[in-house]
Amino acid sequence: MREQKYRICSLFAGAGGIDIAFEQAGCTTVWANENDRDACLTYHLNFPDVLLDRRDIRKVPASEIPEFDILAGGFPCQPFSAAGREEGFQDKRGNLFFEICRIMDSGKPQAFFLENVANLETHDHGNTFNIIRDQLASRGYYLRYLVADAQDYGFPQRRNRIYIVGFKSSEVAERFAFPEKSRPGKKIFDIIDRSRKAPEWCYLIPGTVQYEKMAQAIRDDNEMYRFSDGRFAASGGILSSRNGIAFTLLAGMGNWHDREPVIRDRWGIRKLTPYECFMLQGFPDGFSLEGIPVKSAYRQAGNTVCVPVVRQFAEKVVAALMEGSEPTTEEKLLLVGTVRNRQQLEAALSGKFYHFPARYIPENLERVSEVALYLPSRLSGEQSGIRYTGRISGKRILPRKEISELPKNSEEKYCRIEVNEWIECKKPSPVKMTGPVICERI
């Protein structure tokens, strides 16, 4: 298999967490956009060779972005976060999602990776996510998504996020597999070094209300704590980590004095430093925050991603793109059948198979690697119809009398083709159906 460095276009790059993850997976970032002044400083410190565009993304002509293979970004999550007002697309930051679509339309990447708060899936009773999914699928992408907690993927932080991936090729989408779950191999203080004294400003002052309240709440020096709201009134308004797994680091760090994590070391009770917060997001040693204001550094740490988790997704995206990327000497075929009615479609989708009349099946059936069901516009309501594509998992010829859902008054034979999974594509490339079944080259 040839080695290939996939080129990343990074939108809403922030401190660069997603970019670090994809570069660790063997990709290279060719262009990034970020509009926050301090985040731009952080990004440039750590990615000095990447072309960083600091303009508002709405003012960036898509034609100025260099060619790229994968679009990656964690578009602003505050409009969808349960911790915010949940205004969704009514918040101007929520509408920045459509800038992703604009860049996709121009760059036509092979794949994309998007990250957001888990609440995105259920916001506005699921309507927001339906709009996002439809917008992406209508551009010819085959989507996969997963709500995943970082602690279930080997990292000691409770951080629940939705990860959305998409591919132009249905075959690549079929190959993509989500990372497997694993238990964290480390705990908080395998990452945070308490043997060194922190800067003096990190320590709470004995005798103050904050210090006395926290001193009373700390029961285990191997956990970390945070001042919180009334939801944790039973514990004095203080949230504790559990079993050495950190609670979610918040974007409100830096904006509110009581949102930074607190620990006890041998010198006293103190806040974690911004650098330690980045370490609890899995950033690599040597990540630079030189010259970055403290409040902004905290905020950036809370806004970024858990790098080791995103890296696992990035590796899976790259693996799916790379597998079978070598040119083959023998072309593969796609078998396309027209669905006559919605009942027929529903039976095929639920059963993960479709019966094609045998007389339409090409002699070289072994070269048919995928099948597609085409629902024309008169039935789908979409101008160019809807296509459902699946990678073949099994094939066999059956007499009609053995197929319960078809009339048995004929001796015609059918080819039962089974698939692993059907993937929906709205507004597919135009299909010219010259008969009930056609073959296309892949």
Q: What percent of the chain has pLDDT over 90?
A: 60
SS3 of residue 308 by DSSP: helix
Catalytic residue among 27, 77, 202, 425: 77
- What is each CA distance from 366 to 338, 354, 390, in whole angstroms? 21, 17, 15
The CA-based angle 92-61-15, given to 5 degrees, is 60
DSSP 191-242: HS-TTSPPPGGGBPPTTSHHHHHHHHH---TTS-EEE--GGGGGGTSEEE-B
Mode of pairing for the β-strands spanning 70-73 and 7-11: parallel
Q: What is the pTM of this model?
A: 0.72
The CA-based angle 408-410-412, given to 5 degrees, is 115
Identify residue 25 by its one-letter amino acid code: A
Whole-angstrom Cα distance, residue 109 to residue 167? Answer: 8
Q: Which of 190, 192, 186 is nearest to 262 (CA)?
A: 192
Q: Which of 284, 291, 259, 260 is nearest to 274 (CA)?
A: 260
142: pLDDT strictly greater than 60: yes
CB–CB of 419/372 below 8 Å? Answer: no
The CA-based angle 426-427-428, given to 5 degrees, is 95
Is 79 or 34 the better-scoring residue by pLDDT?
34
Whether 425 is catalytic: no
Largest CA distance in the chain: 92
At 297, give phi and psi (nearest 5°).
-65, -40
| Distance of alpha carbon 225 from the chain centroid | 29
Render pLDDT for 348-367 as a digit per residue (tens, 0 to 9). 888 778 877 776 666 666 66
Mode of pairing for the β-strands spanning 28-33 and 52-53: parallel
Residue 237 has a pLDDT of: 85
| pLDDT, mean over the chain | 85
Mean pLDDT value across residues 396-409: 67
219: pLDDT strictly greater than 90: yes
Task: Specify the residue for token string 């939108």.
Answer: 11
Q: Which of 335, 332, 347 is nearest to 374 (CA)?
A: 335
At 85, give phi and psi (nearest 5°).
-85, -10
Render pLDDT for 297-343 as a digit per residue (tens, 0 to 9). 999 999 999 999 999 999 999 999 998 665 444 556 677 777 777 77
- C-beta atoms surrounding 82 within 10 Å: 10
Spell out a b/e string for 15-51, using b for 16 or more CB atoms within 10 Å of the CB, else e: bbbbbbbbbebebebbbbbbbbebbbbbbbbbbeebe
Render pLDDT for 190-215 as a digit per residue (tens, 0 to 9). 999 999 999 999 999 999 999 999 99
Q: Which of 157, 267, 255 is nearest to 206 (CA)?
A: 267
13: pLDDT strictly greater than 50: yes
Confidence of residue 149 (pLDDT cuts 50, 70, 90): very high
Query: Could you give the residue ranges of the DSSP H alpha helices within 57-193?
Result: 97-107, 127-137, 170-175, 188-191
